[in-house]
Amino acid sequence: MIAIANVSGFYGDRLAAAREIVDAHLEGRVHVDVLTGDWLAELTMGLLAKQRERGKGGWATTFVRQMQDVLADCLEAGILVVANAGGLDPAGCAAEIAAIDERARVAWVGGDDVTDVVVGLPSEQTAHLETGEPLGEKPLVANAYLGCRGIVSALEAGANVVVTGRVTDAAVVVGPAAWRHGWGPDDLDALAGAVVAGHVIECGAQATGGNFSFAGELAGTEHVGLPVAEIEADGSAVVTKAAGTGGAVTVETVTAQLLYEVDGPRYLTPDVVARLDTVALAQEAPDRVRITGTRGEAPPETVKVGAIVPAGWHNEMTFVITGLDVDGKVDHALAALWAGVPGGRDAFDRVETRLLRADRDDPTRMTDAVSLLTVAVAGSREACARLSRAAVETALSGYAGFFATTPPGPGSAASVFWPMLLPAADLPQLVGLADRTWTVPPPSASSRTEGLPECVGGSEGVPRAHTGAADLRSEGLPNCLPCSEGDPRSHTATTRAPLGRVAGARSGDKGGNATLGLWARDDDAYAWLAAWWDDEHVAWLLGEDAAGCPRRLWAFPRLRAVGVTVVGFLGRGVADNLALDPQAKGLGEFVRARHVDIPEELLR
């Protein structure tokens, strides 16, 4: 067994996480062999590119700060560190870590930077995975989502710290597990099990009660503990956390994270395709959930590449509307704003206005009398800067009670995450340790799937999935859609109630797509939910904001879960999205709040 702890779910996550886990290990409250974390969201690569332009290095500086705190203790306790915090310069980040303690044998893993390759490709080879559009502008950076083999090689060479560039989110877990257990590229089921374990812990506290639909049922959620995956030689795993920490590890908290940002039964990585519809969960003991049954298939012949492409500028202002005549004051505010911008609304490529009403009749305090009007724009740098100038100039000549919550500013540069594919065989990994560098080839062609349909997908691979009821079924597995006895229309006694009374949810983003998964809390509720989960109901459930967006429905019966990928719901992605919730983080809780006709026996 190898015990792998996550200490970061994104660049900016809890700085004290590494210290907390190391202390818990030293105090005997949990056993840890490896510290890992995920610092590289799609948005982060663009942020690191800007950071590098300012001369501050292309890596996650928070990781360096964490290692300054705990590296000595890790080395003394024999805890390895494997992190993707190297970002755009893993060798530079490795040098920073090596300078902390002379006992550290720090390896770096690169080969993911394919910017020059992408720039030199003909347009037809840069097609966007969802839209098919060719890449129009030169990317700031382009990085391939590589696998675990470079990490395995670094550990085999004696590294006790491994810093990578862009690898798949699960690779920092799969690599140490494959190294410890001696898995080769053909150990597909074991690799798939480790991918699932890695996916569960990659977002840190989201597996232990963070962002959980039923958090009110858990204790200590003001400071949730961090997950540890204990991975066995066959790829099965137990997810746990340190004793005495907040939150909980339950079948439902693990299910919630398994549903996060996935796009159907097959979860593609360069190492293996993990079949999420084969996963089984069991509560082994308090705060111990065992994951078994994961099947693996050979990886695809292509690897996902994420290019970061410039996308103009954004700016926004939020005006507070107080008291009476809200609609009239909104009209006044907008008319004055556009009158102050040369060209008015037409000066911008896109404009979004939204009004959040928090006002009440006969308010007894200020917070009961206000609404928030936000104006967000996209366009040229000059036009976006004019928005703030025009807003400020209306301060003394605008609507009654004018004030704003956002300070005026010039706006910010935006970018787009552009996913595409490159041949896996052309993307070896480069490893450096001390004065040595060497190349690690990708898995051989014999380990890869021949003729795997492009329409299968996953969070780390091709973001496409089968559609249609037949494709919600898995070979040799229970039917994802129950028979007619489970049809909700066969129930005669129903009550109009929030969907969240019988289901939890987790949602997120993958480029311009939103992903949404719901799980039922018992078998009867799943039978109803799965039968209800058709395109007509899902289209209604998502509401008018998703009108016109294609949908891909899927289901995991062994997890009592259903889900949907909403194509294009987020436009061109978080960094170029003017919406209130540009990453669809709240979409799951929105749909749980929607009232549907639920069988009364389920509500009891």
What confidence tens digit (pLDDT) does each residue in 277-315 have? Answer: 999 999 999 999 999 999 999 999 999 999 999 999 999
Model pLDDT for residues 23-67, shown as the tens digit of each residue: 999 999 999 999 999 999 888 888 898 899 898 899 999 999 999
Tell me the average pLDDT of the chain.
Answer: 91
pLDDT beyond 80 at 203: yes
Average pLDDT over residues 507-520: 94
Q: What's the alpha-carbon Rg for the chain, to the nearest Å? A: 25
Kindly state the percentage of the chain with pLDDT values over 90.
Answer: 84
Euclidean distance between CA atoms 317 and 42, whole angstroms: 26
Residue 90 contacts residue 44 (beta carbons within 8 Å): no
Check whether domain 312-414 has CATH 3.40.50, yes or no: no
Higher pLDDT, 490 or 472: 490
State the pLDDT at residue 446: 59
State the pLDDT at residue 475: 36
Residue 293 contacts residue 280 (beta carbons within 8 Å): yes
Strand partners, 441: none
Average pLDDT over residues 545-550: 92
Backbone angles phi, psi at 155, to 5 degrees: -65, -40
Query: With bands split at pLDDT 50, 70 and 90, how would you rate the model's confidence at 572?
Result: confident
Backbone angles phi, psi at 358, to 5 degrees: -120, 5
User: Residue 17 burial by CB count (10 A; 0-12/13-18/19+): exposed, middle or buried?
Assistant: buried
State the pLDDT at residue 406: 82
Tell me how many helices (H) and strands (E) the chain has: 15, 26
Euclidean distance between CA atoms 334 and 329, whole angstroms: 9
pLDDT beyond 60 at 583: yes
Model pLDDT for residues 344-371, shown as the tens digit of each residue: 999 999 999 999 999 999 999 999 999 9
CA dihedral angle for residue 594, residue 595, residue 601, residue 604, rounded to 10 degrees: 70
Q: Which segment of 127-131, 327-331, 450-454, 505-509 scores lowest on mean pLDDT? A: 450-454
State the pLDDT at residue 445: 59
Euclidean distance between CA atoms 107 and 592, whole angstroms: 45
State the pLDDT at residue 457: 36
Domain boundaries, the chain: 2-111+146-298+443-447, 312-414, 469-603
State the pLDDT at residue 574: 82
State the pLDDT at residue 136: 85
Indicate the helix (H) or strand (E) that contains 74.
helix 61-77
pLDDT beyond 50 at 472: no
State the pLDDT at residue 448: 61
- For every residue of 285-320, DSSP letters joined together read ETTEEEEE--EEEPPPSEEEEEEEEEEEEEEEEEEE
Query: With bands split at pLDDT 50, 70 and 90, how would you rate the model's confidence at 343?
Result: very high
Model pLDDT for residues 175-202, shown as the tens digit of each residue: 999 999 999 999 999 999 999 999 999 9
State the pLDDT at residue 458: 40
Cα–Cα–Cα angle for 522, 526, 531, rounded to 5 degrees: 160
Which residue's entry shows tokens 């920073």? 96
pLDDT beyond 50 at 135: yes
Query: With bands split at pLDDT 50, 70 and 90, how would you rate the model's confidence at 137?
Result: confident
Q: Which segment of 260-264, 447-451, 595-599 scores lowest on mean pLDDT? A: 447-451
Cα 45 to the chain's mean position, in Å?
14
Euclidean distance between CA atoms 279 and 290, whole angstroms: 10
State the pLDDT at residue 42: 82
pLDDT beyond 80 at 483: no
State the pLDDT at residue 438: 98
Euclidean distance between CA atoms 498 and 502, whole angstroms: 8
Query: With bands split at pLDDT 50, 70 and 90, how would you rate the model's confidence at 599?
Result: very high
Coil, strand or helix: which one is 68?
Answer: helix
State the pLDDT at residue 447: 57
Phi-psi category of residue 547: left, alpha or beta, with phi > 0 → left and psi -120 to 50 → alpha = beta
Model pLDDT for residues 223-237, shown as the tens digit of each residue: 999 999 999 999 999
Query: With bands split at pLDDT 50, 70 and 90, how would you rate the model's confidence at 573?
Result: confident
Average pLDDT over residues 515-527: 96
Please give the structure tokens belonging to residue 590: 């929105």
CB atoms within 10 A of CB 132: 8
Kindly state the percentage of the chain with pLDDT values over 70.
Answer: 92
pLDDT beyond 70 at 240: yes
Question: In whole angstroms, how far apart are CA 235 and each of 173, 190, 279, 454?
Answer: 11, 4, 12, 27
